[in-house]
Amino acid sequence: MFTKKPESNAELSDDNEESGETETKPVETRQPVLSRSMPSARDATSAGPSLIGEDLTITGNIESKGEVHVDGEVQGDIHCVSLIIGEKAHVNGAILAEDVIVRGRVEGELRGTRLSLQATSHVEGDIIHKSLVIEQGAYFEGKSRREEDPGRSSSDKSEASRSGGSSSKSQSNRAAE
């Protein structure tokens, strides 16, 4: 394959015969083609948000390493970095995310570093947060509790409820005895 490329460069230089630079021009034009394909592979991790449209209903848990926009219905838990729940959206399950903006309906526990319940939101469930904004007009029924790291104890509490009420605190107390 290497012998073919110089031949095509030689043909180009024979046609133009300006200077030896014409041989490098085709190489330069070919290099960006290769570099264009490489960033697209890298951009896959920094792609736009995952969208759940108004006409879509998901039954099951959702886990994402990026941003999720929900405009449809989710019957299950959502775990992601950033979550936006649209005005017409309905989520029935636990939510764990760094940033959460709620404009629609949520039934279940919300855990996040930064949570915002906007005026159109309707939340029925407990909220564990580091910072919380509730706009005038938002509906919230449940308990709100501030924690430094709201995501840390989520799995500990769910394991405790499955094992019949023993918590990680009682296990650490037993270890100290």
Q: Where are the domains of the chain?
A: 4-43, 50-148
* Nearest-angstrom CA–CA distance, 86 and 20: 60
pLDDT at residue 112 in the model: 96
What is the model's pLDDT at position 156?
53
> In terms of C-beta density within 10 A (0-12 exposed, 13-18 middle, 19 or more buried), how is residue 33 classed?
exposed
pLDDT at 67: 95
Give yes or no for residue 99 having a pLDDT over 70: yes
- Using a cut of 0.75, tell me whether the model's pTM lies above it: no
Query: Mean of the pLDDT values across residues 64-81?
Result: 95
User: Taking a C-beta distance cutoff of 8 angstroms, is the pair 98, 84 a contact?
Assistant: no
Q: How far apart are CA 131 and CA 174, in angstroms?
A: 33
Q: Which residue has the higher pLDDT, 115 or 27?
A: 115
Percentage of the chain beyond pLDDT 70 is 60
Q: What is the dihedral of CA 79, 80, 81, 83, to 10 degrees?
A: -100
Q: Is the pLDDT of residue 98 over 90?
A: yes
